Amino acid sequence: MTHAHFPHTRLRRNRHDAFTRRLVAENTLQVDDLIWPVFVCEGQGQQQPVQAMPGVSRVSLDRLAAHVAPAVSLGIPAVALFPVTPLEIRDEAGTEAVNPDNLMCRSARLLKKEFPQLGLVGDVALDPYTSHGHDGLVEDGYVLNDESIPLLQKQALHEAQAGIDIIAPSDMMDGRIRAIRETLDSHGHTTTRIMAYAAKYASAFYGPFRDALGSGNLLKGDKKTYQMDPANSDEALREVACDLAEGADMVMVKPGMPYLDIIRRVREKFAVPTFAYQVSGEYAMLMGAIENGWLDRDQTILESLLAFKRAGCNGILTYFAPEAARLIRERS
């Protein structure tokens, strides 16, 4: 360029070499940011691959510690447990949800004993336990709100008693955070945290997860009367405000990648610990392209997760957690 003063501002200077890029980086992805969702099933010696989620499997209790051990060694702070309930013990009322010896509680007790430092996140909702696949009680095709809450309270209490550190209500009933907080507190679980699935959308991206749990084919209708409409954004802020007022310690936006705008708005308005769930369909989408050789595996995984940090997340629930942790460790 010949003109002496052209251009003064060259944004490319700060991209000139790796050390400068590292110095000016505004966000970083760390192992500390990751929560790994894990599917647990009944039986012995089970390691069943999940359809549409290459690399993800359901493991039986006898294999759970060995399955989780590498994630613990990599320094992943927490896992989120999802039980696969055998079809024959699912019923209309989701009775198994409040069994203090259900698969969720047995998994929590086992992991707490094996890895006392590992954080345990426990989903609270009836869908893994109901014969209709809905998150609450159903009457005349409608998911009942207030009537479902006592079950969620009981489910949460049993999870806390089994060693779950963070209760994560994913059911989207109104008022359940306050009710669960009161139950936990009145039973002495004052330090058990609540991570509210605050802005959870009625999304097509949960498909592979429902298949993993075996609730996909069971689901009657859809979840649009309780999960949020993907058209809405202001409403997500009202959901978060309610859950915080009711006692949530952390909030979550779900799904993740298609809802980065919601994460940003939540972060800016509330400045509270904010999480995103990069859900099963997002994983399936990325892995589909990766396995076809259409996207670069390592770069795609790290970029997809860094985007959540840039949007304002403190942490991310992701099926890529162990792989991402390995990549982060390799690169630092």
Distance CA 320, CA 282 (A): 11
Distance CA 283, CA 285 (A): 5
Smallest distance, ligand PBG to C-beta of residue 228, A = 11
Smallest distance, ligand PBG to C-beta of residue 259, A = 13
Distance CA 16, CA 1 (A): 18
Return the number of the residue (123 or 159) whose C-beta is nearest ligand PBG.
123
Q: Residue 269 catalytic?
A: no
Instruction: Check residue 140 and report its DSSP letter.
Output: T
Smallest distance, ligand PBG to C-beta of residue 134, A = 9
Distance CA 28, CA 315 (A): 11
Smallest distance, ligand PBG to C-beta of residue 223, A = 6
Residues 6+ positions from 312 with CB-CB distance below 8 Å: 263, 264, 266, 267, 268, 274
Distances from the Cα of 275 to the Cα of 56, 191, 225, angstroms: 21, 19, 24
Q: From the CB of residue 229, how many other CB atoms can be counted at a distance below 10 Å?
A: 9
Question: Which listed residue (113, 224, 254, 269) is catalytic?
Answer: 254
Answer positive or negative: Cα dihedral of 312, 315, 316, 319: positive
Instruction: Check residue 17 and report its DSSP letter.
Output: S
Return the number of the residue (135 or 243) whose C-beta is nearest ligand PBG.
135
Residues 6+ positions from 319 with CB-CB distance below 8 Å: 36, 37, 53, 55, 56, 278, 280, 283
Instruction: Check residue 256 and report its DSSP letter.
Output: S
Distance CA 149, CA 280 (A): 26
- Is the separation of the CB atoms in 259 and 282 below 8 Å? no
Smallest distance, ligand PBG to C-beta of residue 267, A = 21
Return the number of the residue (123 or 246) whose C-beta is nearest ligand PBG.
123
Smallest distance, ligand PBG to C-beta of residue 188, A = 27
Return the number of the residue (206 or 275) whose C-beta is nearest ligand PBG.
206
Question: Which listed residue (154, 200, 220, 223) is catalytic?
Answer: 200
Return the number of the residue (110 or 168) whose C-beta is nearest ligand PBG.
168
Residues at the binding site for Mg(2+) are 239
Residues at the binding site are 239
Task: List interacting residues with ligand PBG (CB under 6 A).
Answer: 123, 125, 127, 135, 170, 206, 209-210, 279-280
Q: Residue 220 catalytic?
A: no
Return the number of the residue (103 or 268) whose C-beta is nearest ligand PBG.
103
Q: At what angle do helices 321-331 and 297-311 cross, to 10 degrees?
A: 100
Q: Could you list the active site residues?
A: 200, 254
